[in-house]
Amino acid sequence: MMAGIMRHIVSVRGIVIVALLLYLLFLPYYASAFYINVFTRILIWAIAGISLNLILGYGGMISFGHAAYLGVAAYTVLAFAEQGIYLGWVQWPVAIILAGVVSAFIGTLCLRTRGLHFIMITLAFTQMLFFFFRSLDRFRGDDGLRIKKRSEFDFGWFELDLMDRLTFYYLVFAILLVALLFVFRLVNSRFGAVLRGSMSNDVRMQAIGVSTYGYRLTAFVIAGMMCGVAGLLMANMERFVSPAVLSWTVSGDLIFIVVLGGSGRLFGPVFGALVFFLLIEFLGDITIHWQLIMGPFLVLVVLFARTGIDGALNGLDHKLRVRFGRGQSGDEEMSS
Partner 1 sequence: MNTALVMEHVLNGFQLGMLLFLLAAGLTLILGIMDFVNLAHGSLYMVGAFFAATFTKLTGNFGLGILLAVPAVLLVGLVVEIVALRTLYARNHLDQVLATFGLVLFFNELVQIIWGPQGLVIPFPSAFDFTVTLPGGITYPAYRLLIIGMGFVVAFGLYLLVGRTRLGMLIRAGASNRDMVGALGVDIKLLFTFVFGIGAVLAGLAGMLYLPIGGAYIGMGELILINALVVIVIGGIGSIRGAFIASIIMGLIDALGRAFLEDFLNFFMTEGAAETAGPALSAMSVYILMAAILVFRPQGLFPPRSR
Which residues contact partner 1 (rule: CB under 8 A)?
Answer: 56, 62, 64, 109-110, 112-113, 115-117, 119-121, 123-125, 127-128, 131-132, 134-137, 248-249, 252, 255-256, 259, 263, 289, 291-292, 294-299, 301-303, 306
Nearer to partner 1, 127 or 167 (CB): 127
Q: Residue 128 Cβ, how far from partner 1 at the closest point, in Å?
A: 4
Q: Residue 121 Cβ, how far from partner 1 at the closest point, in Å?
A: 6
Of the candidates 174, 172, 248, 185, the residue with the CA atom closest to the CA atom of residue 58: 185
Coarse DSSP helix, strand, coil percentages of the chain, rounded to the nearest 5 percent = 75, 5, 20
Q: Residue 118 Cβ, how far from partner 1 at the closest point, in Å?
A: 9
Nearer to partner 1, 160 or 293 (CB): 293
The answer to whether the beta carbons of residues 120 and 62 sit under 8 Å apart is: no
Nearer to partner 1, 56 or 183 (CB): 56
Q: Residue 218 Cβ, how far from partner 1 at the closest point, in Å?
A: 20
Of the candidates 211, 275, 229, the residue with the CA atom closest to the CA atom of residue 97: 229
Q: Residue 248 Cβ, how far from partner 1 at the closest point, in Å?
A: 7
The β-bridge partners of 87 are 152
Nearer to partner 1, 70 or 172 (CB): 70
Helices (H) and strands (E) in the chain, counts: 16, 4
| Cα 238 off chain centre by | 17
Nearer to partner 1, 94 or 298 (CB): 298
Helices (H), 87-245: 88-110, 115-134, 165-187, 190-200, 202-207, 212-238
